């Protein structure tokens, strides 16, 4: 094992003059800035712009790193890192004695997930990135063992047993194309699943939100929990929990962070045991959030909330009275004819199970985007319909 104890030239970037220059240019055109010569002989303009981009990203994605002395890695590492919000949510699920992140990256997940553990180990094969993370964790007052190794080598020589192993496999192939099947990830999860489960009580794997749940469960034994995590209705990740301990059923939790909407929990397979009831639109219209849609529990939503579905392929629901606690949008609407749509009106356009996309609809009807009113172009069992908010 190689333990990292230095941060190399990153100390130079912390010079007060350089930091003042970085902070003064947080809103400067970075393309124009890159064409200029660096005013500091020991730091390139590329390195300065890297820090500016890091601070800009941190303002939105992980504001806890907006602290004096923090160093930021290249843009790709920033893009691949989890947000502070999703990492904090996952941290509330875990606690124990020993935690290891086998693909620590920029360390956002590791920082939050390891907060309830006594011993923390970060494994990362990119030495430069690990140096930066070690430096930042010292600034933040968080202790860990930092190991510069790829996870396969670490697992082959490791003698420790952990309460929790966490990993986020790379989801791009050698040509930088996105991949989704477990055997195409790096590392190949199917190849290392046995050693993972022999090394920890629980194994937690962050996967692409595009992963198919039925496929996932069919190829990866030991799953007992799946978290489908959306942030402001944008599904960010599917997180899978594995254990050797036999458990009854697989619990799936759909969460839409920063929305104020409740979680939606179910046992995988429940969807197959219920049937939706269909109806033409009534007074209230319900659109599930995207974590629900990702889970594919279209009939279960109908059954749980006593709602009627418009069409087998239209995942929009309706009821005559308003139902509380629904994980998604609730709109009071009426059916309108196309001739009732005011030209040059302003609406939020939703198109579901309809031939035209929102941009095509706006062009056809001369509608401007925005405002507080909604138009939904969709289908019921009787055919194409347009719904307008009241």
pLDDT at 167 over 90: yes
- For the chain, the average pLDDT equals 92
Residue 172: which pLDDT band, with cuts at 50, 70 and 90? low
Cβ contact 308:243 at 8 Å: no
Q: Would you state the pLDDT for residue 320?
A: 97
Q: Would you state the pLDDT for residue 1?
A: 36
Distance CA 335, CA 280 (A): 10
Residue 229: other Cβ atoms inside 10 A: 25
Cβ contact 337:349 at 8 Å: no
- Chain position carrying tokens 């904090």: 88
Q: Is residue 188 part of a domain?
A: no
Distance CA 379, CA 273 (A): 25
**381: domain range?**
272-389
Distance CA 147, CA 139 (A): 19
- State the sign of the Cα–Cα–Cα–Cα dihedral 30, 34, 38, 41: positive
Q: Would you state the pLDDT for residue 328?
A: 97
Residue 369: which pLDDT band, with cuts at 50, 70 and 90? confident
Cβ contact 355:386 at 8 Å: no
Predicted model pTM: 0.91
Q: Is residue 309 part of a domain?
A: yes
Q: In percent, how much of the chain has pLDDT > 90?
A: 82
Residue 7: which pLDDT band, with cuts at 50, 70 and 90? very low
Q: Is residue 59 part of a domain?
A: no
Q: How many domains does the chain have?
A: 1
Q: Is residue 279 part of a domain?
A: yes
Beta bridge partners of 252: 226, 266
Distance CA 123, CA 133 (A): 11
Residue 174: which pLDDT band, with cuts at 50, 70 and 90? low
Q: Would you state the pLDDT for residue 218?
A: 93
pLDDT tens digits for 239-295?
999 998 888 899 999 999 999 999 999 999 999 999 999 999 999 999 999 999 999
Phi first, then psi, for residue 259 (nearest 5°) are -115, -20
Q: C-alpha dihedral over 217, 221, 225, 227, to 10 degrees?
A: -50
Say which residue, 227 or 181, is predicted with more confidence.
227
Residue 46: which pLDDT band, with cuts at 50, 70 and 90? very high
Q: Is residue 96 part of a domain?
A: no
Q: Would you state the pLDDT for residue 8?
A: 43
Distance CA 281, CA 171 (A): 41
Q: Would you state the pLDDT for residue 2?
A: 36
Q: Would you state the pLDDT for residue 10?
A: 61
**Residue ranges in the chain assigned as alpha helix (H):** 16-24, 30-34, 45-61, 75-80, 84-91, 108-113, 127-140, 151-157, 189-197, 213-219, 290-295, 298-304, 358-365
Q: Is residue 101 part of a domain?
A: no
Q: Which SS3 state, helix, strand or coil, does residue 341 take? A: coil
Q: Is residue 368 part of a domain?
A: yes
Q: Would you state the pLDDT for residue 186?
A: 85
Pairing mode of beta strands 328-336, 383-389: antiparallel
Say which residue, 3 or 331, is predicted with more confidence.
331
Distance CA 24, CA 283 (A): 54
Residue 329: which pLDDT band, with cuts at 50, 70 and 90? very high
pLDDT tens digits for 86-117?
999 999 989 999 999 999 999 999 999 999 99
DSSP designation for 10: G
Q: Is residue 328 part of a domain?
A: yes
Supply 367's token pair.
Answer: 């509608």
């Amino acid at each position: 094992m190689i333990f990292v104890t230095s941060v190399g030239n990153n100390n130079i970037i912390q010079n007060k003059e350089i930091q003042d220059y970085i902070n003064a240019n947080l809103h400067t055109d970075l393309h124009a800035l890159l064409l200029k010569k660096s005013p500091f002989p020991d730091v390139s303009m590329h390195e300065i712009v890297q820090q500016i981009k890091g601070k800009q990203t941190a303002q939105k994605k992980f504001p806890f790193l907006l602290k004096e002395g923090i160093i930021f890695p290249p843009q790709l590492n920033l893009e691949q890192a989890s947000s502070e919000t999703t990492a904090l949510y996952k941290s509330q699920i875990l606690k124990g004695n020993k935690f290891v992140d086998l693909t620590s990256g920029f360390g956002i997940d590791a920082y939050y997930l390891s907060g309830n553990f006594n011993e923390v180990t970060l494994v990362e094969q990119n030495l430069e990135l690990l140096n930066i993370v070690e430096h930042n964790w010292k600034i933040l007052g968080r202790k860990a063992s930092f190991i510069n190794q790829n996870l396969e080598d670490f697992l082959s020589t490791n003698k420790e047993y952990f309460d929790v192993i966490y990993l986020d496999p790379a989801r791009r192939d050698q040509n930088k194309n996105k991949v989704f099947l477990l055997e195409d990830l790096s590392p190949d999860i199917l190849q290392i699943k046995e050693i993972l489960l022999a090394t920890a009580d629980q194994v937690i794997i962050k996967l692409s939100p595009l992963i198919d749940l039925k496929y996932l469960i069919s190829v990866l034994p030991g799953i007992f929990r799946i978290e489908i995590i959306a942030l402001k209705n944008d599904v960010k990740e599917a997180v899978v929990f594995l254990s050797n301990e036999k458990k009854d059923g697989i619990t799936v939790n759909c969460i839409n962070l920063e929305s104020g909407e409740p979680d939606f929990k179910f046992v995988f397979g429940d969807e197959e045991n219920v049937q939706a009831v269909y109806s033409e639109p009534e007074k209230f219209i319900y659109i599930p959030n995207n974590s629900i849609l990702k889970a594919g529990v279209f009939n279960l939503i109908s059954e749980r909330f006593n709602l009627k579905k418009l069409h087998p392929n239209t995942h929009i629901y309706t009821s005559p009275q308003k139902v509380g606690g629904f994980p998604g949008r609730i709109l009071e609407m009426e059916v309108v004819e196309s001739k009732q749509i005011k030209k040059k009106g302003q609406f939020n356009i939703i198109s579901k199970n309809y031939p035209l996309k929102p941009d095509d609809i706006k062009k056809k009807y001369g509608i401007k985007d925005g405002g507080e009113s909604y138009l939904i172009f969709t289908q019921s069992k009787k055919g194409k319909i347009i719904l307008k908010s009241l």
